[in-house]
Chains A and B, each alone.
Chain A
Amino acid sequence: MKRYFIWALVVLLLIAHQDNWLWDNGTLVFGFMPIGLLYQAGISLAAAITWFLAIHLIWPTELDPVASS
């Protein structure tokens, strides 16, 4: 179940990554940051959070003293 949850998050992330609704939006956030670039930087952070969840929810614990074999 947890594995499906992580895969669903990854698929959502890949869909969000396409962000077609911002394709031609050149708004500058804070006066200097193009909104499309800020959004994609947000995708990078969301990716880090997704993988943080993955290592806590579906970490292959059986691989944790394999290390000496």
Chain B
Amino acid sequence: MVERFGELTIIGVYLLLLLGLGMAAGRMFKGTKSDYLLASHSIGPFLLLMSLFGTTMTAFALVGSSGEAYKVGIGVYGMLASSSGIIHSLCFFFIGIKLWSFGRRHGYTTQIQFFRDRLESDRIGLLLFPILVGLVIPYLLIGVIASGTVIQTMTSGSFPDLFPTGSPGTHGGIPNWLGSLITCLVVLTYVFFGGMRGTAWANAFQTIVFMVLGILAFHVIATKLGGEETLLENLRKVTAAVPENKLTRVDMSKMKFFTYLLIPLSVGMFPHLFQHWLTAKKASSFKLPVVAHPIFIMIVWVPCVLIGIWATSSLIPAKPPLPSNPNAILPFLVKTQTGPLLGGLLTAGILAAIMSSLDSQFLCLGTIFSNDIVTHYYGRTRVSDRGQIVLARIFIVAIVAITYGLSLFPQRGVFGLGVWCFSGFASLFPLVFAALYWRRLTKAGAFAAIVTTIVVWGLLFWQSDMGANREFAVKLSFGGTTYETMPVATIFLSSLLAMIIVSLLTKPPSENTLGKFFDPQRAHALPVEAD
């Protein structure tokens, strides 16, 4: 009985706990738009750290890190994790705090409101809106599909008569469509009732869950594979059996490793992170996230990378054979090397990593739709505060339904889209940086940056066979040597150049706008502008 339903029971209890947390947050709801969308700017350092970390660390932090390490070795940590530790905190410090201060001064809820004001352009919102939504949707799809896959794999064998698949890895497991539906409904429930406060609480809880369970899985798998007395002896025995090339970065391109540094800049333009930044109670709430974020990344990633390279060791039993999909390595090792209790707990950990990103993205897209499109064009004075909450909730339900509907169609290449979504956001980073630090940035320069990003991104995406070619790189030749670079480098540089050249050739922003964003003392004295 425990063998068959152990995982299922733990997953069920975990999801019920989350629902309870969302409902508890809902009981604290003050009934205002600011409370629903920004938790009334009440989030302190610890909750802000957990929200930002939980949102930026998707399922990739657990499942993808071990899968990539299995494929290419330990270099994945430098390429994705330590680089993010440097760059994410840089974005929190130089972008997040400044945007938070403008958000507080001028009452912004979304990125688009800030750009409309800073660039003196209503139309910039109409250009940014489809891009931000278009780049977040595939990101959402990855999470929704991954949750269904994880639940099906980890509950295999539970209902052999009800859900037969014929494949040993999934036979009798809760089917994909049902697992994804359960995940969507749980996230929808706590976001719908709890708003941003529910999301922040759930993120804190889920971040603790996936951090602890990652370390627990590391300990148990090392002990099972090593079979020695102490943890240190087990670690030595297992790592000694790993092939030499997985202990180094010889399977990696140096230029790709270097240009991958641009990818973490995407957090500067994530609309859902912008909304989280605005929830901070005061500027000093950012201090803990800025310092602790790189350490938290290390705590999650180092054990998972080591588990990934262990899967290449000679100590792994020949039967059952390792899965062909690298992303299934961690669930496979947990399933074969541990019991149903840890299997269920780790499934909860992976779902925690997925849902702690999904919730912020659902809430953010609902906010953008209601705030920047409907309310903005219908007239802010014609929609009451309560009306705006109802609108946001309607759009959140719609976004969840659309994402779930899309996840039911065959998604051959959706997982290849992840890096393209990040590349798009990263290439818009010059825009947000210039908006905050370069007085000479003009409306035309911003349009040039965005349009250039769309065109170059689209061209390279098309060349990569719509993301299906996972190894796609832009090849540059210098002095007889060909260098492989990540597409983001080309898109980023094109966007940056277009923005600078066009801005320098066009009329600078008005003194009023420059005073508002570059002279904080004067900003308080400025008259309130009509909408």
B154 CB within 8 Å of chain A = no
Residues of A near B105 (CB, < 8 A) are 66, 69
B283 contacts A64, C-beta separation under 8 Å? yes
A8 CB within 8 Å of chain B = no
Query: Would you list the 5 A-B pairs with minimal beta carbon distance, nearest first?
Result: A26-B247, A32-B235, A63-B283, A31-B236, A47-B294
The 8 Å CB contact of A41, one of B77, B250, B292, is B77
Chain B residues with CB under 8 Å of chain A are 41, 74-75, 77-78, 81-83, 85-86, 89-90, 93, 97-98, 100-101, 104-105, 232, 235-236, 238-240, 244-245, 247-250, 254, 257-258, 261, 281-284, 287, 290-295, 297-298, 302, 305-306, 309, 520, 524
Least CB distance from B61 to A in Å reads: 14
What 12 additional pairs, Cβ within 8 angstroms, besides A64-B283, A69-B105? A14-B261, A17-B82, A22-B248, A26-B244, A26-B248, A32-B240, A33-B239, A34-B239, A37-B306, A43-B85, A48-B291, A54-B93
Residues of B near A28 (CB, < 8 A) are 236, 239-240, 247
Chain B residue at minimal CB-CB distance from A56: B287
Report the Cα distance A32→B309, complex, angstroms. 12
B97 contacts A41, C-beta separation under 8 Å? no
A23 CB within 8 Å of chain B = yes
Residues of A near B261 (CB, < 8 A) are 14, 17
Contact flag A48-B283 (CB < 8 Å), given A23-B248, A36-B74, A55-B291: no
Report the Cα distance A62→B520, complex, angstroms. 9
Q: Can you spell out 7 A-B residue pairs with CB atoms less than 8 angstroms apart?
A: A10-B90, A17-B83, A41-B298, A43-B85, A54-B93, A55-B287, A67-B282
Report the Cα distance A10→B250, complex, angstroms. 26
B297 contacts A36, C-beta separation under 8 Å? no
Contact flag A24-B250 (CB < 8 Å), given A10-B90, A55-B290: yes
A26-55 to B contact mask, C-beta < 8 Å, 1/0? 101011111011001101110110111011
Contact flag A37-B305 (CB < 8 Å), given A17-B78, A66-B101, A66-B104: yes
B104 contacts A36, C-beta separation under 8 Å? no
Report the Cα distance A10→B281, complex, angstroms. 28
The 8 Å CB contact of B294, one of A24, A31, A44, A64, is A44
Least CB distance from A67 to B in Å reads: 4
Least CB distance from A4 to B in Å reads: 14
Report the Cα distance A37→B245, complex, angstroms. 13
Contact flag A14-B86 (CB < 8 Å), given A31-B236, A52-B291: yes
The 8 Å CB contact of B295, one of A32, A37, A45, is A45
B85 contacts A36, C-beta separation under 8 Å? no
Residues of A near B295 (CB, < 8 A) are 44-45, 48
A51 contacts B258, C-beta separation under 8 Å? no
B294 contacts A63, C-beta separation under 8 Å? no
A34 contacts B248, C-beta separation under 8 Å? yes
Chain A residue at minimal CB-CB distance from B295: A48
B254 contacts A23, C-beta separation under 8 Å? yes
Least CB distance from B39 to A in Å reads: 14
Q: Is the interface of A mostly helix, strand, loop or mixed?
A: helix
Residues of A near B240 (CB, < 8 A) are 28, 31-32
Chain A residues with CB under 8 Å of chain B are 10, 13-14, 17-20, 22-26, 28, 30-34, 36-37, 40-41, 43-45, 47-48, 50-52, 54-55, 59-60, 62-64, 66-67, 69
Residues of B near A60 (CB, < 8 A) are 97-98, 101, 283
Residues of B near A69 (CB, < 8 A) are 104-105, 524
Residues of A near B245 (CB, < 8 A) are 26
B248 contacts A25, C-beta separation under 8 Å? yes
Least CB distance from A13 to B in Å reads: 6
Residues of A near B100 (CB, < 8 A) are 63
Report the Cα distance A19→B98, complex, angstroms. 32
A55 contacts B247, C-beta separation under 8 Å? no
Least CB distance from A16 to B in Å reads: 10
Chain A residue at minimal CB-CB distance from B88: A47
Residues of B near A24 (CB, < 8 A) are 248-250
Chain B residue at minimal CB-CB distance from A39: B78
B86 contacts A41, C-beta separation under 8 Å? no
Least CB distance from A48 to B in Å reads: 5
B294 contacts A45, C-beta separation under 8 Å? yes
Report the Cα distance A55→B248, complex, angstroms. 34
B294 contacts A37, C-beta separation under 8 Å? no
Least CB distance from B295 to A in Å reads: 5
Residues of B near A26 (CB, < 8 A) are 244-245, 247-248
Report the Cα distance A10→B313, complex, angstroms. 36
Report the Cα distance A20→B258, complex, angstroms. 10
B86 contacts A13, C-beta separation under 8 Å? yes
The 8 Å CB contact of A36, one of B75, B83, B254, B520, is B75
The 8 Å CB contact of B85, one of A37, A48, A55, A66, is A48
Report the Cα distance A13→B82, complex, angstroms. 10
The 8 Å CB contact of B93, one of A13, A30, A45, A51, is A51
Contact flag A34-B78 (CB < 8 Å), given A44-B294, A48-B295: no
